[in-house]
Amino acid sequence: MVIIQSSSLDRSTNDIIDWLAYYKANYIRLNDDYGVVKTNITLHNNRTFINDIDISKCSYMYRRGDLCINFELQEIDNVDKINNWLLHEKLFEENTAILDSINYLFKRRPSISHVSDIDISKIEQLEVANSVGLLVPDTLLSNDFSTIINFLNDQKCITKSLSNVKIRLSYSSDWNINMHLTTASVDSNDITKSKKGLPVLFQQYIDKKYELRIFYLKGQFFSMAIFSQQNEKTKLDYRNYDKDKTNRNVPYKLPNEIERKLDAFMKAINMNCGSIDMIYTPEGKYIFLEVNSIGQYQWLESNCNYSISKNIAEMLITMNLENERFDENKRNSTEMDR
């Protein structure tokens, strides 16, 4: 059995399912609205059931979303609203711990990606990348005003959100507010109004010849060059997409040395799948920016004719078959011992 945890709106999962269906593999898709109603986890004989799905004999891929346990509580009579809310919050924490246990058991399966990959911070990524020999931009995470001013005065800089936070507020029945920070060019004039505030990420701005998007899958590299520099809108960050004048995107072969370092990096942060962003400078240097465990890769497939979805499906099926062979050998050796 192949289990894919995803979102019902994620199209790349549909492509993987195409191949699983082609190979006549048994699969289940758990979407982010999938409520865990029944759980049976027994550690002594290593069997795990979520609802009626036996996850002790599966290969697994995490693509997007979270499992959930839905519950509705009526308020306790004669207990005030705050204490009823506290009761709800504490039970929610208990349910979260249960889901963490299920996620841990998924992690122990032969798998591609895991929900915990999302929690690896940008700072940890940059530090680990640096330790394996990859070049990274000068980076400052600070709210010390004088340190920030010195950093900004030393070089051209950008600022971005650590968690890609997007805020959506309902201001009134007629109006909504969206607030978010895309990668933005910054100098000392942009923060002089706020001499005190919460810490923020600043990075050295690196000139680009082109940008690279690399999909890493268990030691395989699917790389694409993005010519973002001819368009003012995409120059700072190709993700400020210009839908009327799209960037030219082409297949790319990374040098062996860079692939070796990226492979070491992914192993060091314990990720076996992810979308890596890099810069190729006019001076011929490769600069690592970040890895995204749930990044989109369909556009690499369509721009570069890569068979990523097919590879993922084949890997999941192979991992499942190896798992079944291991179980059968274990059963056979147990019978022989008798």
Partner 1 sequence: MKDSTKIKETLQKWIDENRENLPLNIDLWNIDIHENIPNEAPQKMLSFGSYNAKGVTTASFHKPHSRIVKL
Among 1, 3, 5, 13, binds partner 1 (CB under 8 A): 13
Q: Site residues for partner 1, window 135-164 (CB under 8 A)?
A: 143, 145, 148, 159
Helix axes 256-268, 122-131, angle to 10 degrees: 130
Contact predicate 213/262, CB 8 Å: no
Q: CA-CA distance, 331 to 177, in Å (whole number)?
A: 60
Least Å distance between CB 305 and partner 1? Answer: 10
Among 82, 97, 179, 336, binds partner 1 (CB under 8 A): 179
Q: Residue 307, interface with partner 1 (CB under 8 A)?
A: yes
CA angle 205, 125, 139 (to 5 degrees): 30
Q: CA-CA distance, 237 to 184, in Å (whole number)?
A: 8
Q: Residue 188, interface with partner 1 (CB under 8 A)?
A: no
Chain center to CA of 49: 26
Binding flags for partner 1, 239-268, as an x/- string (CB under 8 A): ------------------------------
Q: CA-CA distance, 116 to 174, in Å (whole number)?
A: 38
From the number of C-beta atoms within 10 Å of its C-beta (0-12, 13-18, 19+), residue 37 rates as: exposed
Contact predicate 251/223, CB 8 Å: yes
Cβ proximity to partner 1: between 57 and 310 the closer is: 310
Q: Residue 174, interface with partner 1 (CB under 8 A)?
A: yes
Q: Residue 306, interface with partner 1 (CB under 8 A)?
A: no
Q: Residue 26, interface with partner 1 (CB under 8 A)?
A: no
Q: What is the contact surface with partner 1 in residues (CB under 8 A)?
A: 8-11, 13-15, 17-19, 21-22, 29, 31, 143, 145, 148, 159, 171, 173-182, 184, 186, 190-191, 193-194, 196-200, 307, 309-310
